[in-house]
Amino acid sequence: MKLYHSPTSPYVRKVMVTLDLTGQSGEVELIPGSGTPLAPNDATIAHNPLGKIPCLIGDDGAAIFDSRVICRYLDHRANSGAKAGLYPDGDALFPVLTAEALADGIIDAVLLTAYEWRLRPEEFRYQPWVDGQAAKVERALAALEQTDLVLSGPMNAARIAAGCALGYVDFRLADLGWRDRCPKLAAWYAAFAETPAMKATVPVG
């Protein structure tokens, strides 16, 4: 397999953690694929018309994206189709998918904030937009504070997504101060961030 990759992308980090936890890290070749909406990466676009990473080239040569689809594929692949690892079977699947989407929404909001700072000329930056994204993050963090399947129980895709989202909040919004408002989530993340898969994928750059 090949993975179009960036060491700063929290979506890529989700995939890298999933690869580690499913024992597949040694089966993937990492290919630089980072870009922005203003300067997309041509190599990534060749496989994903949206120009977004992560983009996985699977065993059959077909492109698979986005991170939620890739993580689901990797779980399926690791379990020989059993789908009983990071994504549970039956009705238990849907709370995991929903919590994963909530965590990904945090990443989305932080990324949009970062784009506002990094890509938009200063004279055109719109503070109410930034404030609106921060409000999304705060609401989602408050919801994760009450999400038991993230805070306890067996490993699942929602927990991976939440860990990567919190890491990205710390990376891009270091002064948000979310830990005081979400003590249970902060305690869980402090332990999860020390796991080998998370420590090996800390964003840099």
Which stretches of 24-173 are assigned E, i.e. beta strand?
29-32, 55-57, 63-64
> What's the chain's average pLDDT?
94
Rg (CA), the chain: 17
Which pLDDT band, with edges at 50, 70 and 90, does 178 fall under? Answer: very high
126 and 74 share one domain: no
List the CATH number of the domain containing 55: 3.40.30.10
Residue (of 51, 54, 103, 94) closest to 74 by Cα position: 54
Which pLDDT band, with edges at 50, 70 and 90, does 192 fall under? Answer: very high
- 153-177 b/e (C-beta count within 10 Å ≥ 16 → b): eeebbbbbbbbbbbbbbbbbbeeee
User: CA-to-CA distance for 107 and 10, rounded, in angstroms?
Assistant: 7
pLDDT at 188 over 80: yes
Q: Does any domain span residue 83? A: no
CB 87 within 8 A of CB 146: no
Q: Most confidently modeled of 36-50, 96-110, 113-127?
A: 96-110
94 and 187 share one domain: yes
Mean pLDDT of 76-100: 86
Question: What six digits make up the tokens of 151?
Answer: 């805070």
pLDDT at 83 over 80: no
Tell me the helices (H) and strands (E) count for the chain, helix number first.
9, 4
Q: Domain count of the chain?
A: 2
User: CA-to-CA distance for 69 and 14, rounded, in angstroms?
Assistant: 11
Q: Does any domain span residue 24? A: yes
User: CA-to-CA distance for 191 and 175, rounded, in angstroms?
Assistant: 21
Of 22, 44, 78, the residue at which a domain comes to its end is 78
Higher-confidence position of 203 and 97: 97
Angle at 147 (CA atoms; ends 145, 150), nearest 5 degrees: 100
181 and 158 share one domain: yes
Q: Does any domain span residue 205? A: no
7 and 73 share one domain: yes
Mean pLDDT of 139-150: 98
% residues pLDDT > 70 (the chain): 97
Q: Does any domain span residue 113? A: yes
> In the prediction, which pLDDT does 84 show?
54
pLDDT at 81 over 60: no
Mean pLDDT of 112-130: 89
Q: Structural domain of residue 94, as residue ranges?
A: 90-199
pTM tops 0.85: yes
Mean pLDDT of 97-108: 98
62 and 138 share one domain: no
> In the prediction, which pLDDT does 29 show?
97
% residues pLDDT > 90 (the chain): 84
CB 10 within 8 A of CB 203: yes
